[in-house]
Amino acid sequence: MKSEEFLTNPLLAPSSLPFGAPAFNLIKEEHYLPAFEAAIAYAKEEVDAIASCPDAPTFANTVEALEYSGQDLSRVEGIFFNLLEADSTPGMEEIADKVSPMLTSFSIYVSMNEALFSRVRTVYEEYGAKVFEGLSKEQKRLLEDTYLSFKRGGAFLEGEDRKEFSETMEDLSLLQLSFSNNSLAATKEFSMLLTFPDEIAGLPDYVLEDAVNLARENAEVGWMFNLDRPSYSPFMKFSSRRDLREKMWRAYNTRAIGGHYDNCSNIRQIISGRMKIASLLGYGTFADFALERRMAGSTEAVEKFLSSLLDPSLAAARKEVADLTAFARKNGFDDDTIMPWDFAYWSEKYQKALFDIDETLLKPYFPMEESLNAVFSLAGTLYGITFEKRDDIPGYHPDVRVYDVLDTDGGHLALFYVDPFPRKSKRGGAWMTEFMGQYSFGGKDHRPFISIVTNFSKPSPDSPSLLTHDELTTLLHEFGHSLHGMLSRCRYPSQAGTNVARDFVELPSQIMENWAFEKEFLDSFAKHYKTGEKIPSELIKGLLESRNFQAAYLQVRQLQFGILDMAWHTLREMPADVDPVEFEKNALSHCETLPRIGGTAVSPTFGHIFSGGYSAGYYSYKWAEVLEADAFSLFQERGIFDKDTASSFRKNILERGSSEDEMVSYVAFRGHEPEVDALLRKLGII
């Protein structure tokens, strides 16, 4: 029975806004904890009702009923944890510390519920004996996934093993949250204020404008830089002060190593906890456990995949570094070795010399508003959808704008929340998420609430928000994820939208990046924000010619992340007091392309694998690049705006979610399975 909280708490009460949108204008910090408590209590009642049902177990009254349970809790989680990343407060962080073990406890309450599992097992074995006779492909997949989730959730464990599993899962939830909080705090902790003209040598006007604004926001006078990407990246690329670049680089690459926000202990405990979980469930390593339900399927397959890309790429990457060093020495660099804090600076100059391409010349042609509208227009051309801004639906912050997404027939598809600019309450980077995913129930198609969060430079008094070409590519990437959520047409929530195998989820995002390099698309919108002049053909030519500039180096960099991830998650026993800095050094010693600097590492802020969903899964970015390279070649053959190809991609990839095996979906679109060489050819490595 639902409590009074469901009538009064804006996180739980029915929304009066169009499409039942979240009432962000009414939600306050004090609403979160009571909402979690009430939603968890009711979700337990739903589970208990299924487990104690007097009728014989069936697919409908057990598996399907469990799938649709907990919707209220999902709604509260969707809002709270997304805002914890995008618009956090110290109070919310305290709430997260309280609710994370509550949620873990509830998850264990479900996964180790003996009566519930008995019913699921009965249904699974009954249908399994008949080869799932009478079930649709979506139902068959749901039954298999539900049974496996119980197995992976410890349902077969007994006695002390069951207790240890539960305690370890609860510990991991808190450790991962602590890791994320420390990473954010360590990033925000550092800033560098410059006050003398010689300290800003080489920095373009737009970078200086942003730096002045950042200083002003922090009640300082001068030029301020921090470790958020819109500030850090251009400084490293353009500052001619090598000493200051080194200072920034060291600050960035020593985040959460020692000090108040140290994550080294968290890493040791997270890896130990994951090893324990894998062992209790009968897996050799955590990677074996994690990869069971992914396209790759096994640790051996992932390691073979990474090697198949690394072997041809590493020699090419080292040659690219040697070529860059030679260029730098010819142009005033007086050292024998390019250091990590030199790489972006000299790469920018080398790229400009080779291709006459200059980020500062490109940026005025990519105002954020026009770029966003162009991305909307591209989606319209490909999929027939349109975006209408809705000022009557509140966002969670004044920067957030809300759009109603309409299908080809004018019907409502989704709400789309866009949160473009950095702030102290938002973590760095860019991501897509959802406040509510799509699903069908009781004859009604529940349409999703999708969000995209970025950290693009804010408008200044003198100019609008302008994107670098890399940021335009990022916008297209995250928008691809958004399309996956918005266009979903699935029956079950666990199969809808981006709820696909981790090594498949990046296909819809990475394929969209290709349009950032298509002249026909760029010509459609790229105009100088001051003059209205169309982007010159020579700039596009240089951009396209430079697309594979240092492609091998960048590929090896991504492969290093994947190799490091697998090194952590294929451990079979934890060395005593392992030092994450030394561990990382040893794991990557065979594939370094730049000198490794003592005392620095990425592991202590590698949120993808220690607090996100990519543990033993970072390889999936490259896996999806292989899929994407092969898939986009079909658009290239038929035309980058070909509606039939787009329609097939929508039907077979974007709408299906994981309602059937992802490779089956891919082959239905492309006609064959992908090959690694498709990516190597695209990057010009072979």
> Which one is catalytic: 478, 584, 625, 655?
478
8 Å CB contact between 206 and 463: yes
- Match 């090598």 to its residue by tokens: 242
150: closest CA among 123, 182, 185, 180?
A: 123
Alpha helices in 240-282 (DSSP H): 242-253, 264-280
Residues facing residue 415 across a β-bridge: 404, 449
Q: How far apart are CA 203 and CA 31, in angstroms?
A: 46
Helix (H) or strand (E) holding 178: helix 159-189
Contacts of 356 (CB under 8 A, 6+ apart): 538, 542
Strand partners, 444: 441
Decide: helix, strand or coil at residue 153: coil
Report the DSSP pairing between strands 449-453 and 386-389. unpaired
d(CA 212, CA 225): 9
Half-sphere exposure of 482 (CA within 13 A, CB side): 30
DSSP class of residue 532?
A: -
Q: How many helices (H) and strands (E) does the chain have?
A: 28, 9
Per the annotation, the verdict on 5 as an active-site residue is: no
Q: What are 584's two structure tokens?
A: 């990382």
Token representation of residue 41: 């209590």
Torsion of CA 557, 559, 561, 565, to 10 degrees: -170
d(CA 488, CA 447): 9
Using alpha carbons, select from 446, 601, 386 the residue that is nearest to residue 75: 446
Residues 98, 104, 110, 113: what is their CA dihedral angle, to the nearest 10 degrees? -100
Distances in Å between the alpha carbon of 337 and those of 317, 333, 535, 596, 660? 15, 9, 37, 12, 51
Structure-token match 């142009």, residue found: 331
Torsion region of 334: left, alpha or beta (phi above 0 gives left; psi -120 to 50 gives alpha):
alpha
Mind telling me the catalytic residues? Answer: 478
